[in-house]
Structure 1
Amino acid sequence: MERMQGEQPSRRELVAAMFSSEFVEDGIDPDVLRRVHAGEHEEWLTALDRSGVFDKETRAELADLWRREPRELLEALLADADDVARRRCLAAWASLDHAADDPGQAQIG
């Protein structure tokens, strides 16, 4: 969806601008993917706090959203990923989802 001129970027767009290129730059780290999936979002929340871009209320809303729907953070992190990297990451995410339903099946890498 394209924004109208003068319209403010969404929170997801801002998060993507801050983190996406770094997330995909050297290949997607399976450990980072596991942490995002598991709800371990402190490193991103700390970076948002340090950036000064988001106020305390917005950071709390993002923390709550990511806690409920970690895929929201994943989608922002994948904004700069190419199609192949995105597909691989989403396949690994699906594996993590499956493993959450059936512990002992978590094989990503």
Structure 2
Amino acid sequence: MPSHTPDYRELVSAAFEGEAVEGGVDVAALRRIRAGEFGEWLTALDRSGLFGADALARIAEQWRADPTVLLDALLAGADTVTTRRTRAEWAALDRPESRSRLG
């Protein structure tokens, strides 16, 4: 019997729809996502009642493996300009000058 790991991306995106509509994801949140600090988003999903403990664990595992999965979910309902600006801010976190400003 083949093993199937559910992909919750569409449901997570629906749960976060509208999160980044007004102004995108702030830089502090982007830094937390990059650092693997997913607690606030996992709590929001837990409170939604849409996900059980196993699903939340799998989602957290997906995010740890690739934090852009969470970023994509947060940007799912955003307009093109907001998405581009937020992705540019995300990419800027890779630059040495951005890391030095982190403290």
TM-score (norm 2): 0.80
Partner of 1:26: 22
Deviation at 1:35, TM superposition (A): 1.4
SS of structure 2 residue aligned to 1:25: coil
Partner of 1:46: 43
Contact (CA 8 Å) 2:12, 2:73: kept in 1 or not?
Answer: yes
Distance (Å, rounded) in 2 between the aligned partners of 1:27 and 1:71:
18
1:7-86 alignment to 2 at 5 Å? 11-21=8-18, 23-28=19-24, 29-86=26-83
Contact (CA 8 Å) 1:45, 1:59: kept in 2 or not?
Answer: yes
**Higher relative contact order at CA 8 Å, sep ≥6: structure 1 or structure 2?**
2
SS of structure 2 residue aligned to 1:103: helix
Deviation at 1:105, TM superposition (A): 6.0
1:93 matched to 2:90? The reply is yes
Structure with the higher helix share, 1 or 2:
1
Report how many aligned residue pairs link the two structures.
95
Distance (Å, rounded) in 2 between the aligned partners of 1:30 and 1:93:
8
Unpaired segments ≥5 residues, structure 2: 1-6
Deviation at 1:90, TM superposition (A): 0.7
Contact (CA 8 Å) 2:62, 2:69: kept in 1 or not?
Answer: yes
Contact (CA 8 Å) 2:46, 2:56: kept in 1 or not?
Answer: yes
TM-score (norm 1): 0.76
Partner of 1:5: none
Query: Superposition RMSD on alpha carbons, in Å?
Result: 2.0
